[in-house]
Amino acid sequence: MQKIGIFGGTFNPVHSEHVLTAKKAISGLKLDKLFIMPSHISPHKIGADVVSFCDRYNMLKLAFTGVDKVEISDYEEKKGGVSYTFETLGYFKNLYPDAELCFLMGEDMINDFPTWKNPDIIAKLATLVFVRRKDAFGGGEKTEKTVGFIKKTYGARVFELDFCGDDDSSSKIRVYNKLGLDIAPFTDKSVAEYIKSKGLYAGDINYERVKKYLPKKRLIHTAGVVLTATLLSKAAGADKKKAELAALYHDVAKYLDPKNYPDFVDPSDGVKSVTHQFLGAYIMEREFNVTDEEIINAVKYHTTGRANMTALEKLIFTADAIEPSRTYKNADELRRLTYRDFNAGFIEVLKEIYEMLENSGNKIYYLTKVAYESYVK
């Protein structure tokens, strides 16, 4: 019996982990053929920053050049409309009636599977194959429970591929590109060149502003905060777009001299490490004409915290502390905890920051003390 793999996704854009996952699936599942299936309109990505099907298809062609047993399919584009997996699998079952179909997805998708349209039909048509993701949001025990539920409810065949992929590299490529950072480490060189030549994933005025204020090292940190904040926004109960803007602007004043802003009143009380949060909020209002108080306050208190923090304030405070380039002793542990339970992670991050400040012997700003007493004690 033939084994046909179908690897669906937005591929916005394709990245190195997609290619590695495909190769692992071909060898690990002993596939005779693997179709890479870019969605026409993904029901999971409606309203997202998705480039044209033509560009995504062309980038897939470039990335998979020379990979044996792979074919890039344009079926969902030709079909038109929203791309539903049960329809795609039905099409391939008609093409290969005697073959075993294997549908490949990431850990985030297997956890969302019960919410898909007609999951019972999908389960009858194909074996579900998923790959783990590093620090996968909602992974671990949740994944085990979801897989058990899928098997019991739909009678599905579920297989875990022995491979652990990187988290959301497509988002990383988009954010890095908007900030003018190098995207070559995350995708094929030809794909990176295609993105540049076509002007894809260009930053808006907000990204252009931040690029002017921060050096490369701080831009990498900013990209990490944007990625972490948007990934955790749902768990934190915060608006994703506001999370992106607050994360983007949070360090905009990091390298500015407050003396150059004579109307700015610095409330830092000699704790220089917190001045930039207040100056950043000031600049957003005065120079960038940002009027959303929730976003402004998320920047204004991202270093110190305070009592009665909003969901967005907690999110930016936490994302700033656990984004991927942070390498202090307990960073990995705090990341894992926060991905599992955001509120528990926020409290532990606040506790960690407070204890680090205590051990350093530096003055602790009064708002940080208030936040610690409000949430930790």
Co-location of 342 and 218 in the same domain: yes
Domain-located, residue 196? no
- Summarised one tens digit per residue, pLDDT across range 352-366 is 999 999 999 999 999
Mean pLDDT, residues 93-120 taken together: 95
Gap between the Cα atoms of 28 and 109, Å rounded: 20
Domain-located, residue 193? no
Residue 42 has pLDDT above 70, yes or no: no
Query: DSSP states of 286-305 as a string?
Result: HTS----HHHHHHHHTTTT-
Co-location of 219 and 349 in the same domain: yes
- Summarised one tens digit per residue, pLDDT across range 192-218 is 999 999 999 999 999 999 999 999 999
Co-location of 127 and 12 in the same domain: yes
> What pLDDT was estimated at residue 45?
54
Contact 304, 365 (CB under 8 A): yes
- Summarised one tens digit per residue, pLDDT across range 52-79 is 999 999 999 999 999 999 999 999 999 9
Domain-located, residue 286? yes
Mean pLDDT, residues 162-185 taken together: 87
Co-location of 124 and 220 in the same domain: no
Mean pLDDT, residues 293-310 taken together: 98
> What pLDDT was estimated at residue 137?
54
Question: Which CATH number belongs to the domain containing residue 257 in this structure?
Answer: 1.10.3210.10
Gap between the Cα atoms of 248 and 323, Å rounded: 13
Q: Point out which residues pair with 36 in neighbouring strands.
A: 7, 72
Domain-located, residue 66? yes
Percent of the chain with pLDDT over 70: 95
Domain-located, residue 294? yes
> What pLDDT was estimated at residue 165?
67
Co-location of 14 and 151 in the same domain: yes
Residue 268 has pLDDT above 60, yes or no: yes
Three-state SS for 9? strand
Name the more confident of 41 and 103. Answer: 103
Co-location of 258 and 117 in the same domain: no
Among 119, 148, 171, the domain boundary falls at 171
> What pLDDT was estimated at residue 46?
46
Domain-located, residue 360? yes
Neighbours of 120 (CB within 10 A): 12
Co-location of 329 and 248 in the same domain: yes
> What pLDDT was estimated at residue 162?
84
Co-location of 143 and 254 in the same domain: no
Domain-located, residue 343? yes
pTM over 0.75: yes
Angle, vertex CA 95, rays to CA 92 and CA 101, nearest 5? 45
For the chain, how many structural domains are there in total? 2
The torsion of the CA quartet 255, 258, 263, 268, rounded to 10 degrees, works out to 110
Residue 166 has pLDDT above 80, yes or no: no
Name the more confident of 141 and 336. Answer: 336
Name the more confident of 139 and 138. Answer: 139
> What pLDDT was estimated at residue 185?
93
Question: Which CATH number belongs to the domain containing residue 125 in this structure?
Answer: 3.40.50.620
Gap between the Cα atoms of 220 and 182, Å rounded: 10
Among 117, 151, 171, the domain boundary falls at 171
> What pLDDT was estimated at residue 140?
75
Co-location of 210 and 164 in the same domain: no
The torsion of the CA quartet 198, 202, 208, 214, rounded to 10 degrees, works out to -100
Q: Residue 70 sits in which domain range?
A: 3-171
Among 154, 171, 188, the domain boundary falls at 171
Domain-located, residue 20? yes
> What pLDDT was estimated at residue 168?
56
Co-location of 32 and 88 in the same domain: yes
Co-location of 299 and 244 in the same domain: yes
Co-location of 247 and 345 in the same domain: yes
